Amino acid sequence: MAADDTEFPILCETCLGENPYVRMTKESHGKECKICNRAFTIFRWLPGRGMRYKKTEICTTCAKLKNVCQTCILDLEHGLPVQVRDSALSIQDNVPRDEANRRDYLARAAGELETAGEQVDFSGRAQPAGREMLKRMARTEPYYKRNRAHICSFFVKGICTRGNECPYRHEMPRGDPELAKQNIVDRYHGNNDPVARRMLKRSADSAKKSSLASAPEDKSITSLFVMGMDASVTQSGLSEFFAPYGELKSIVVPPKGNCAFINYRNRSAAEAAAAAALDDGCVVGGKALRVVWGRARPKGPQSELQRPATAANGIPLPPGAAEDSAQYPSQDPTAMGAVRR
Ligand SMILES: [Zn+2]
Ligand SMILES: [Zn+2]
Ligand SMILES: [Zn+2]
């Protein structure tokens, strides 16, 4: 069975190039899709002057299932690696990796896509925090540089004799050894993608910095919220780290034990502790913990029981931190797509 027989490929703006009327050559059942191994229609085109020829690498069914470009395998809506998008939106990879199951899955999916006449919806399910994160990281303009000719390997070794005639780029690689380690199957399934991993880490780092650096305006807030604990982090370990910055009112560890509320008597102590955790990190019992500002308790006699405290505004609680008490989208632990899998 052929994977598809399409008139036009599914491509991102970048891969298509600047000229929307670009001429494409089409080769029916030209090659096997790199994901499902079925023969599919390959398109080839030149995305602009001085660029390299591009071609489709995966079939339209596989592309629709992940809402990715058939050539660069990046998400069509955000221009991001599948792993980044799926982390932010808490999407599980459900395309089987082993060949027999995958064939069944794709055959079924192809039928469904045909009757539905559209692609799988990847945007509606996002939690607010995940959506925010995607918006922050998304590439909104096409990035045509990505279509440039590859670097000339002879030039790099200083032995290219073709000069201006050389179809490859004559410059030294500046970049990214990580990119060479990417592989199309991992990128499609959204795991083990070194580039995605680095993007997620950078995003988490900057979120961490800004959440601690900006102390809440409400000066009555004198609490910090600690996440990422396990059994090696004890209450006395916490107090050893936090007591030097000022008098502690209490340290509260909710039953699940993977987070803690550090409550100071006064604001300046909390600020000093926040600054220390920001500068040198917070390591207790050998574990690097994430620290954010606490938030004002909601008014009302019973709400205090229901919601002991939450992380600073916009910073979602970690998985399991307050699952039972989540009431608003911003408190939803699943919103932290970056760590939820
Ligand atoms: Zn395919
Ligand atoms: Zn593309
Ligand atoms: Zn050359």
Cα separation, 165 vs 167, in Å, equals 6
Å from CA of 148 to ligand 3 middle: 14
Cα(284) to ligand 2 centroid in Å equals: 44
How do 248-252 and 223-227 pair as beta strands? unpaired
Strand order of the sheet with strand 223-227?
248-252, 259-264, 223-227, 287-293, 282-284
Are 129 and 207 spatial neighbours (Cβ–Cβ below 8 Å)?
Answer: no
CA distances (Å), 224 to each of 175, 186, 263, 281, in order? 39, 38, 7, 14
Q: What is the DSSP letter of 147?
A: G
Q: Which ligand places an atom closest to the C-alpha of 35?
A: 1
- Expressed in angstroms and rounded, the spacing between residue 45 Cα and the centre of ligand 2 is 13
CATH code: domain 214-335 is: 3.30.70.330
Mean pLDDT by 10 residues, the chain (341 residues): 67 90 88 91 91 93 93 94 89 83 81 63 61 82 88 90 88 72 89 88 78 80 88 90 94 87 94 84 81 73 43 44 40 41 36
Distance 240 CA to ligand 2 centre (A): 52
| pLDDT value of residue 127 | 62
- pLDDT tens column, 122-176: 555 556 677 777 888 888 888 888 898 888 989 989 999 998 888 888 888 776 6
Q: How far is the CA of 132 from the centre of ligand 3 (A)?
A: 43
Spacing, Cα 79 to ligand 2 middle (Å): 8
**How many whole angstroms from 11 Cα to the centroid of ligand 1?**
14
Give the Cα separation of 40 and 283 in Å (integer). Answer: 53
Per DSSP, helices labelled H in 95-233 are 99-116, 128-137, 153-156, 177-180, 184-189, 194-213
Domains of the chain, by residue range, sit at 13-142+181-200, 214-335
Q: Say which ligand is closest to the CA of 68.
A: 2
Contact 16, 47 (CB under 8 A): yes
Cα 70 to middle of ligand 2, angstroms: 7
Report CA(129)–ligand 2 centroid distance (Å): 26
